[in-house]
């Protein structure tokens, strides 16, 4: 008789477990020690309240990026509504100005260059190692930011006719900036050649800590591979593999080559088109196989391209990065300064998009390509950087926004 209370207790507990198990789905609960359901809710006075659980905590931790490097890549692909409506094509733009280090596609390249150098033990953090580069701005800004984050110094050589805000930004990022007179590539004082020399001088100086690394953005394979591994696959995935053309300008050539090499593997019929500004020889390189522009006759040029308000794209020499994908570039479209300036203003007026010169060139070329292809096609281009870096030059002489608004795309293309 003394065991009956114990048997009653055990029986009652077992019956309770059985009843709970039968009704658990109805009441949306789980029996300990099994894992709680995810996304459960509870009701309190008619209000539905989300209940945090282990799964949500793990997902939240997974959303945290590792430094500014974690903010590079996976940029949005946005539809430019005004251009799409006007052309009947879907014109999409990869918002590369939203990369989180230097706010341009050069973030991808700079990070890849630095990570490769670290892997090969050519860079050691906090040792005094310094990255040297010759750049018109964006690559230098990306390198300066990432170097600062990873324990290196940056020394940037750039032409002194670039927009002043670029060198100002480099200084604020802690880089040493050397502005030099524009010169052709055959001149050893040309900004790219000077950066190479400065890196060699650093390494040879036993009294200076660390070594000098020449980033060599124009020739290093790390450039186009950054876009082959990142930008190209992102565009393919974001479009679901449905695109008819990719169009972009080229400076080093790494972006268009890397994207072309990836997309052509997946979509052999996709059209790859170069957008080229005044004075650049790349247009003729694609069209006719020669690197020559009538405005660049020997003895007349001051620098590697003619004077133009467009910065960051256009060049008059062959680079390894452009040649890596040149045979996959199907066509080229020339864009004038006037067309680029008018397009930049149009994008602000119509879409609230404020971009720099290379992005404006890309968008003009995308519209011209849309006219060639006809309605119903999907075209992808790049928005490279913000107009904030081009206030003193590209945007300097534009009309006030909100003034004359009756300009048409046809007028822009004819300008």
Selecting among 94, 106, 153, 368, the annotated active-site residue is 106
State residue 345 phi and psi, 5-degree precision.
Answer: -70, -40
DSSP-assigned states of every residue in 198-214 = HHHHHHH-TTSSS-EEE
Which distant-in-sequence residues (6+ apart) come within 8 Å of 61 by Cβ? none
State residue 303 phi and psi, 5-degree precision.
Answer: -150, -170
Alpha-carbon dihedral 242, 244, 249, 255, rounded to 10 degrees: 40
302 closest CA partner among 282, 321, 316, 284: 316
Which distant-in-sequence residues (6+ apart) come within 8 Å of 265 by Cβ? none
Q: How far apart are CA 218 and CA 319, in angstroms?
A: 6
Whose tokens are 């990369």? That residue is 99
Which distant-in-sequence residues (6+ apart) come within 8 Å of 137 by Cβ? 158, 162, 163, 166, 311, 312, 389
DSSP-assigned states of every residue in 291-332 = ---GGG-TTT-SSSS-S-S--S---SS--HHHHHHGGG--EE
Residue 266 catalytic? no
Whether a cis peptide bond, with omega within 30° of 0, leads into 258 is: no
Q: How far apart are CA 227 and CA 322, in angstroms?
A: 12
Catalytic residue positions? 106
């Amino acid at each position: 008789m003394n065991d009956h209370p114990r048997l009653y207790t055990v029986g009652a507990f077992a019956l309770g477990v059985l009843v709970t198990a039968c009704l658990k789905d109805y009441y949306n609960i789980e029996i300990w020690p099994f894992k709680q359901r995810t996304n459960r809710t509870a009701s309190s006075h008619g209000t539905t309240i989300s209940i945090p659980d282990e799964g949500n905590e793990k997902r939240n931790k997974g959303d945290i990026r590792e430094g500014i490097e974690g903010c590079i890549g996976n940029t949005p692909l946005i539809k430019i509504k005004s251009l799409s409506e006007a052309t009947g094509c879907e014109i999409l733009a990869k918002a590369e100005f939203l990369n989180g280090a230097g706010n341009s596609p050069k973030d991808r390249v700079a990070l890849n260059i630095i990570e490769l150098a670290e892997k090969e033990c050519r860079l050691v953090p906090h040792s005094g190692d310094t990255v040297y580069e010759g750049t018109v701005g964006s690559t230098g800004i990306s390198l300066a930011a990432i170097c600062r984050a990873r324990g290196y110094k940056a020394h940037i050589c750039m032409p002194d006719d670039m927009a002043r805000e670029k060198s100002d930004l480099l200084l604020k990022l802690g880089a040493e900036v050397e502005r030099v007179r524009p010169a052709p590539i055959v001149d050893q004082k040309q900004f790219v050649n000077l950066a190479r020399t400065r890196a060699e001088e650093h390494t040879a100086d036993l009294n200076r800590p660390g070594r000098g690394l020449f980033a060599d953005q124009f020739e290093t394979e790390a450039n186009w591979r950054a876009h082959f591994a990142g930008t190209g696959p992102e565009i393919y995935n974001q479009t679901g593999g449905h695109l008819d053309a990719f169009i972009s300008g080229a400076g080093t050539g790494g972006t268009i080559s890397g994207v072309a090499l990836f997309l052509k593997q997946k979509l052999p019929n996709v059209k790859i088109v170069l957008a080229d500004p005044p004075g650049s020889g790349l247009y003729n390189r694609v069209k006719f196989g020669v690197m020559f522009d009538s405005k660049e006759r020997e003895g007349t040029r001051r620098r590697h391209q003619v004077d133009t308000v467009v910065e960051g794209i256009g060049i008059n020499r062959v680079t390894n990065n452009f040649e890596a994908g040149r045979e996959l570039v199907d066509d080229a479209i020339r864009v004038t300064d006037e067309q680029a300036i008018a397009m930049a203003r149009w994008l602000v007026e119509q879409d609230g998009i404020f971009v720099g010169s290379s992005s404006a060139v890309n968008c003009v070329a995308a519209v011209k390509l849309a006219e060639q292809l006809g309605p119903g096609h999907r075209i992808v281009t790049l928005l490279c950087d913000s107009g904030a870096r081009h206030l003193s030059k590209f945007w300097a002489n534009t009309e006030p926004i909100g003034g004359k608004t009756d300009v048409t795309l046809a007028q822009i293309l004819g300008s």
